[in-house]
Amino acid sequence: MIANTLGARSKRARLLELIVAFSGVVLISATIGLAGTVRAADGATMADGAASAPKRAVIVVGPFAGDTANAIESANRVAAEATAMGMDVTTIYAPHATWGRVVKAANGADFFEYIGHGNGWPSPYRPFQENTKDGLGLNAHDGDSDYSVKYYGANRIIAKIHFAPNAIVYLNKLCYSSGNGEVGMLVPTQKVAVQRVDNFAAGFLAAGARVVFTLKTQPAETLIDALYQTHETMDDWFKTTYDGGWGGDQASERGWIGTQPDLYFDSARTPGATIHIDPDSPVAGDPVTDAKGAYQRGVTGDLAFTTDAWLGSGH
């Protein structure tokens, strides 16, 4: 794992406290119908060289059917890690993840994570348009069911959201965003997978993001660690293996697979952007299974952008 300035044991204990605190924020949010905002924890310090103003992190969980609770648990871990690093963290979780709240919070964000359903292209759902595709799946109304999703596509993101300069976007668990389709679909061709990654990143890049990670299973707290504690490029981080005791079929949840390295492509949607995908030995037409994840990892944007540049950039 990445080296930490805190001792491993004390950090685990502190993160446990923060996760419990964020669980409380979720309960408060559910009661009053508002996003939770948590400032840097008492005693938390930023890494050497960090900008004086805290970076803003916005973490959104959309209605995710039976997986909503698990998604919120994952988001709480990311929020706890970001808070421990000194970030100003806002969480917006279903059933209160409405478009208005997300827009208000996301404007000016340095780090934006969304966990939830994805509606991308190419897909069986014609025609191609980006009023609903390649964006976010949120609650149409406050308090809606976790099984009711309204999609706000790339066009709406471009029109309403303006991230901070050099912002990083992290799309986690979305169908289509990393190349695969939906559960039960077959492995796509490489061409289709790259199109899906490219299309999903385009709106967020146009809204000001410097780089967009589209990762099906890997948790975002590993990136938060890297942003504050390493001196590397976004592509370096993408190619890092975090075993952390995980192995076998679960290894891909922690980072670089590398079975077909150097799959770089120029973006067709965003001039100057580069796409890097990291598939797990896919064979087009095979079923996607737990043992063969196929296209689960992608990153698009300025892959040479560094953690130091992100940490040092101001508003």
Query: Domains of the chain: which residue ranges?
Result: 8-312
Average pLDDT, the chain: 85
Please tell me which residue, 260 or 159, carries the higher pLDDT value. 159
pLDDT for position 85: 97
State yes or no: pLDDT of 300 exceeds 60: yes
Residues 1-21: what's their mean pLDDT?
Answer: 43
State yes or no: pLDDT of 24 exceeds 70: no
Percent of the chain whose predicted confidence (pLDDT) is above 90: 69
Comparing 126-130, 198-202, 216-220, 268-272, the range with the smallest average pLDDT is 216-220
Is residue 36 within 8 A of residue 49, CB to CB? The reply is: no
Residues facing 89 on adjacent strands: 38, 57
State yes or no: pLDDT of 108 exceeds 50: yes
pLDDT for position 17: 54
Q: Residue 95 gets which letter from DSSP?
A: T
pLDDT for position 2: 31
State yes or no: pLDDT of 218 exceeds 80: yes
Residues 28-42: what's their mean pLDDT?
Answer: 41
State yes or no: pLDDT of 174 exceeds 90: yes
Residues facing 139 on adjacent strands: 98
Residues 191-196: what's their mean pLDDT?
Answer: 98
pLDDT for position 254: 67
The kind and range of the H/E element at 89 are strand 88-93
Is residue 148 within 8 A of residue 139, CB to CB? The reply is: yes
Q: What is the DSSP string of 175-205?
A: TTTTS--STTPBPPPHHHHHHHHHHHHHHHH
pLDDT for position 48: 44
State yes or no: pLDDT of 12 exceeds 60: no
Residues 207-222: what's their mean pLDDT?
Answer: 94
Dist CA 65 CA 158 (whole Å): 27
**How sure is the predictor about 287, in pLDDT bands with cuts at 50, 70 and 90?**
confident
Please tell me which residue, 285 or 243, carries the higher pLDDT value. 285
State yes or no: pLDDT of 250 exceeds 60: no
Helical H segments across the chain, by residue range: 8-32, 68-84, 99-106, 154-160, 190-206, 221-229, 234-238, 307-312
Residues 81-101: what's their mean pLDDT?
Answer: 98
Dist CA 117 CA 102 (whole Å): 15
Give residues with Cβ within 8 angstroms of 200, minimum separation 6.
118, 120, 134, 171, 174, 176, 177, 212, 214
